């Protein structure tokens, strides 16, 4: 099994070299042995070795390989042959890089192994503990609300843990990028936060990752998913949706803070794109289970996600004003004004509810009942103990002067810095779970 896995890794590296134009599948320049050798070299370069990153390894090769004479290599061959590292086949010397990597002990001594998040490979997908912690609430909600669409029981540990590594890593990676994007949105007088080039942080690895976001931020994750046979065109499309959402968020929040005109089309597009991570997880679960995507279920869940995002925005409204985050009520206030914004938002909600009800009726009756039960459970967990089982709409008072509000909150005493009480200017039964997708 290990041998097959090693050969699979070699084949993937060869395919990557072809896709990046390093070697050509149509050229006769490289035979099978040459391709295998190049793949082995790549595997050696990306394998961990003490504190050396890929850049350091490449520099070592550039500095020292030209000094390797034929006589030196013949002597090295003789020495290595005695140790059983090399073997001859058809009078040619074959070298198993995997054997060296997997069997040779790393002589790290007392040196400290570096934090993986500080290694220099731009194509290495890495996540931090903070991102994993923030992703937890989304993962729990996803298991409890979406597993039923795959005929899975979220209360069975084997159902969760079988697919949890990929799902958890993916969601944590997305949260890590979202964390960086949030830092660009922090209110700052006289600074344009719509561009990464104007984001000022200390020269650190954090800055490297911020810059990475402007140049295909999902590339490392795509490479990882592709290696596991999980990257589909639809997953790629959702990653593109995520990049577009973050871009729209920066654009809209900057425009709002600068008193510039905001497009309602951009706002509606952003709120529809916002739940891209749930769709990524759902598509990955189809791939992990080797099942065809159920488009009807995806359509239903998409409208449900849209309504949940609005309910989250209403719940998080004051916090989003303080943090200058995208929030549909903030945007509608900028477009329609404080008095008309709640009415226009209620219209959007009503239209979405009608579509939601229609799609809910199209579901299998048993699945429909399970989902509605899950909605009721989530509503209770959100603190709703009386009134309709699915809760009611509650649109908070619109903050007309956001800059003054931030100033008042920041200058107030800690005991006064609390969430404003919501005033229910619109009351309607919710048709979905009141989930909080933003983990503190």
Residue 78 maps to a domain: yes
Residue 6 maps to a domain: yes
Tell me: do 107 and 134 sit in the same domain.
no
Query: Are 439 and 179 a contacting pair, CB within 8 Å?
Result: no
Domain final residue, candidates 293, 325, 356: 293
Token pair listed for 89 = 């086949």
**What's the rounded Cα separation, in Å, for the pair 155 and 158?**
9
pLDDT of res. 207: 56
- Please choose, from the candidates 350, 429, 432, the residue with its C-alpha nearest in 3D space to the C-alpha of residue 387: 429
Tell me: do 194 and 152 sit in the same domain.
yes
Residue 76 maps to a domain: yes
Residue 376 maps to a domain: no
Residue 331 maps to a domain: no
pLDDT in tens, 412-440: 755 444 444 333 333 333 333 333 333 33
Residue 355 maps to a domain: no
Banded pLDDT at 383 (limits 50, 70, 90): low
The residues, ordered by sequence, that sit 6+ positions from 163 with a Cβ below 8 Å of its Cβ are 285, 288, 289
pLDDT in tens, 66-103: 777 777 776 677 666 554 444 333 333 333 333 333 33
pLDDT of res. 5: 66
Greater confidence (349 vs 95) lies with: 349
Residue 362 maps to a domain: no
Give Cα 302 to chain centroid, integer Å. Answer: 18
Average pLDDT over residues 132-148: 93
Average pLDDT over residues 258-271: 95
Specify the number of domains making up the chain.
Answer: 2
The residues, ordered by sequence, that sit 6+ positions from 136 with a Cβ below 8 Å of its Cβ are 439
Average pLDDT over residues 321-326: 92
**What is the radius of gyration, based on Cα positions, of the chain?**
27
Residue 219 maps to a domain: yes
Tell me: do 105 and 141 sit in the same domain.
no
Tell me: do 46 and 72 sit in the same domain.
yes
Query: Are 103 and 112 a contacting pair, CB within 8 Å?
Result: no
**What's the rounded Cα separation, in Å, for the pair 354 and 357?**
5
Tell me: do 141 and 287 sit in the same domain.
yes
Tell me: do 139 and 270 sit in the same domain.
yes
Tell me: do 73 and 154 sit in the same domain.
no
Tell me: do 79 and 103 sit in the same domain.
yes
Beta-sheet pairing, 92-95 with 86-89: antiparallel
Max Cα distance, the chain (Å)? 87
Percent above pLDDT 90 for the chain: 45
Tell me: do 141 and 245 sit in the same domain.
yes
Greater confidence (177 vs 40) lies with: 177
Cross-strand bridge partners of residue 95: 86
pLDDT of res. 434: 38
Q: Which of these ranges, 191-200, 207-216, 269-278, 351-360, has the smallest mean pLDDT?
A: 191-200
User: Given a cut of 80, is residue 192 above it in pLDDT?
Assistant: no
**What's the rounded Cα separation, in Å, for the pair 402 and 343?**
20
Domain final residue, candidates 114, 145, 166: 114
**What's the rounded Cα separation, in Å, for the pair 145 and 434?**
12
Residue-number span of the structural domain to which 256 is assigned? 129-293
Query: Are 428 and 393 a contacting pair, CB within 8 Å?
Result: yes
pLDDT of res. 202: 43
Tell me: do 133 and 260 sit in the same domain.
yes
Residue 92 parent element (H or E) = strand 92-95
Query: Are 135 and 168 a contacting pair, CB within 8 Å?
Result: yes
Tell me: do 280 and 209 sit in the same domain.
yes
pLDDT in tens, 221-240: 999 999 999 999 999 999 99
Domain final residue, candidates 114, 142, 176: 114
Tell me: do 201 and 138 sit in the same domain.
yes
pLDDT of res. 121: 53
Average pLDDT over residues 356-377: 94
Average pLDDT over residues 308-323: 93
Query: Are 282 and 301 a contacting pair, CB within 8 Å?
Result: yes
Cross-strand bridge partners of residue 87: 94
Give Cα 72 to chain centroid, integer Å. Answer: 49
Banded pLDDT at 63 (limits 50, 70, 90): confident
């Amino acid at each position: 099994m290990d041998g097959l896995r090693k050969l699979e890794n070699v084949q993937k590296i060869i395919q990557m070299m072809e896709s990046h134009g390093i070697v050509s599948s149509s050229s006769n320049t490289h035979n099978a042995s040459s391709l295998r050798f190049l793949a082995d070299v790549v595997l050696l370069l990306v394998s961990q070795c003490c504190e050396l990153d890929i850049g350091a390894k490449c520099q070592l090769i550039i500095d020292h390989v030209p000094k390797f004479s034929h006589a030196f290599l013949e002597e090295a061959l003789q020495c290595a042959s005695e140790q059983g590292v090399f073997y001859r086949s058809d009078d040619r010397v074959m070298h198993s890089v995997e054997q060296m990597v997997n069997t040779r002990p790393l002589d790290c001594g007392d040196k400290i192994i570096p934090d993986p998040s500080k290694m220099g490979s731009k194509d290495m997908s890495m996540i931090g503990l903070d991102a994993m912690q923030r992703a937890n609430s989304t993962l729990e909600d996803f298991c409890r609300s979406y597993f039923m669409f795959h005929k899975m029981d979220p209360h069975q540990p084997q159902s969760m843990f079988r697919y949890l590594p990929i799902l958890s890593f993916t969601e944590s990676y997305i949260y890590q990028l979202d964390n960086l994007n949030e830092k660009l949105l922090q209110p700052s007088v006289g600074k344009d936060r719509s561009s990464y080039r104007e984001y000022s942080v200390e020269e650190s690895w954090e800055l490297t990752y911020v810059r990475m976001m402007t140049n295909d931020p999902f590339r490392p994750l795509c490479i990882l998913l592709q290696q596991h046979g999980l990257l589909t065109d639809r997953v790629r499309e959702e990653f593109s949706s995520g990049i577009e959402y973050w871009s729209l968020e920066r654009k809209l929040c900057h425009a709002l803070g600068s008193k510039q005109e905001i497009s309602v089309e951009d706002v509606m597009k952003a709120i529809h794109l916002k739940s891209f991570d749930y769709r990524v997880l759902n598509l990955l679960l189809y791939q992990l289970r080797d099942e065809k995507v159920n488009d009807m279920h995806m359509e239903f869940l998409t409208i449900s996600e849209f309504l949940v995002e609005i309910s989250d925005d209403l719940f998080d409204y004051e916090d989003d004003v303080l943090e200058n985050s995208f929030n549909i009520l903030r945007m509608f206030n900028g477009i329609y004004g404080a008095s008309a914004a709640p009415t226009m938002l209620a219209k959007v909600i009503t239209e979405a509810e009608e579509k939601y009800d229609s799609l809910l009726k199209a579901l299998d009756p048993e699945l429909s009942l399970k989902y509605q039960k899950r909605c009721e459970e989530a509503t209770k967990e959100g603190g709703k103990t009386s009134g309709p089982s699915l809760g009611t709409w509650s649109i908070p008072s619109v903050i007309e002067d956001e800059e003054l509000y931030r100033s008042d909150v920041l200058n107030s005493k800690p005991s006064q810095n609390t969430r404003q009480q919501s005033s229910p200017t619109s009351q309607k039964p919710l048709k979905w779970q009141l989930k909080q997708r933003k983990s503190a």
